[in-house]
Amino acid sequence: MDLASFDISAERGFLPRRDPLATLPRRWPSFLNDLAQELPKLLAARQLRAYIDAHRERWSTGLGNRGLDELRCAARILAFAGHGYVWEDPHQPADRIPASLAVPWYHVMKKLGRPPVLSYASYALDNWRRLDPTRPIELGNITLLQNFLGGLDEEWFVLVHVDIEAKAGKALAGITQALRAAHADNPDEVMQCLHAVASAEEQMLHTLLRMPERCDPYIYYTRVRPYIHGWKDNPTLPRGVVYDGVEDYQGAPQHFRGETGAQSSIIPALDGAFGVPHAEDPLRQYLAEMREYMPTKHRAFIEALERLTDASGRALLFGYVRDRRERHPKLWEAFRDCVRLLARFRETHLDYADRYIHQQHQRSASNPTGVGTGGTPFMAYLKKHLEETERFLEG
């Protein structure tokens, strides 16, 4: 379970190991950098579709040996442009994306192993820069590289996620160290590692609790959320979206989920490490589907954690500490502290979902209060997540 082999680090968690590129190098079409820069103003004026339609020229999709940093940067620009094109007018969303945008978007995302739609990776993981490169990746020292409309609420909403991702690195490192210590049958070291995991979780929760400081629920719902919806289980795009010029799709409409925090790898990784179970139902199927939108190596990390089981089929870490809870009660309590903090994180997230979405006044079918940006009944799902975590604590 070497973190580096999964493109993860103790310092940055699932964030890229190098700061994201702000712009694409010259070998990419200059149109893309221009589009990224002008997108917020064009979207505010509802001229983005016209701007993109006016640039119909094709460009080579032979990506050759373009590096991962460049591909991530291109994916970010194309995803924001694609969603801006579709949702420029939320009352009349576009059900076709022109070939000049759809074709390069498809090929870039194929290289990255994700669908051509805005996912959490492009929205948060690869969408930040440090104001002072010598200081940490944290609120107060980070800003977004790409916005839809821009403004304090949009910035803060995404940057809170970036800060949490950075703080999660120590939790992931603690988990892998705890697994190694358990394999070596060193309960004292396992306990120390679990304390480190809990400390990181407390920092993540502290950042999450700061969301209301600069992100107002009404502003989020009306000006931030409309652009991150997808086109699967979306009432205003029931037939999906056609990607013009993408030969592999053969003109058939595509159905992809919208950007959602469920595409972050942190919580699934913690669930896998702790052994928190999820019942076999539509929720579990949805969570499995969300992995298709994660970076491939992060997906592999979660799957590797889930494969680590003991002879009884229990999650390795859970089985190790539970078998020793009589002899080492402090070890068992350290494990339970980690799970309690996971439950608190979920509880806070549920509260925000209620305040920022469910309690808002729906004015458009394209921005429903009962369905998440991933196209699911989020309140029922989030409650179920929390209940399953709390039941696990009782066991």
Residue type, 114: R
At 395 the pLDDT is 66
For residue 288, what is the enclosing H or E element?
helix 282-290
Q: Which of 122, 166, 120 is nearest to 141 (CA)?
A: 166
pLDDT averaged per 10 residues in sequence order, the chain, 395 residues: 96 98 93 96 98 81 83 98 97 96 95 98 98 98 98 98 98 98 97 98 98 98 96 94 97 96 96 90 80 98 96 95 96 98 96 92 87 75 88 82
In terms of Cβ atoms closer than 10 Å to its own Cβ (0-12, 13-18, 19+), residue 70 is middle
**Alpha carbon separation from 270 to 173, 221, 241, 307, 345 (Å, rounded):** 11, 29, 34, 13, 12
For residue 304, what is the enclosing H or E element?
helix 296-307
CATH number at residue 94: 1.20.58.480
C-alpha–C-alpha distance, residues 328 and 192, integer Å: 13
At 64 the pLDDT is 72
Domain span including residue 107: 3-394
At 372 the pLDDT is 77
C-alpha–C-alpha distance, residues 383 and 68, integer Å: 37
Asked if 205 and 345 touch (Cβ cutoff 8 Å), the reply is yes
The pTM of the whole model exceeds 0.75: yes
CB atoms within 10 A of CB 157: 23
C-alpha–C-alpha distance, residues 120 and 388, integer Å: 24
Asked if 15 and 166 touch (Cβ cutoff 8 Å), the reply is yes
Q: How many domains does the chain have?
A: 1
The size of the chain, in residues, is 395
C-alpha–C-alpha distance, residues 352 and 359, integer Å: 10
Q: Which of 265, 226, 306, 285 is nearest to 114 (CA)?
A: 265
Angle CA 264–266–270, to nearest 5: 140
pLDDT tens-digit readout, 66-77: 899 999 999 999
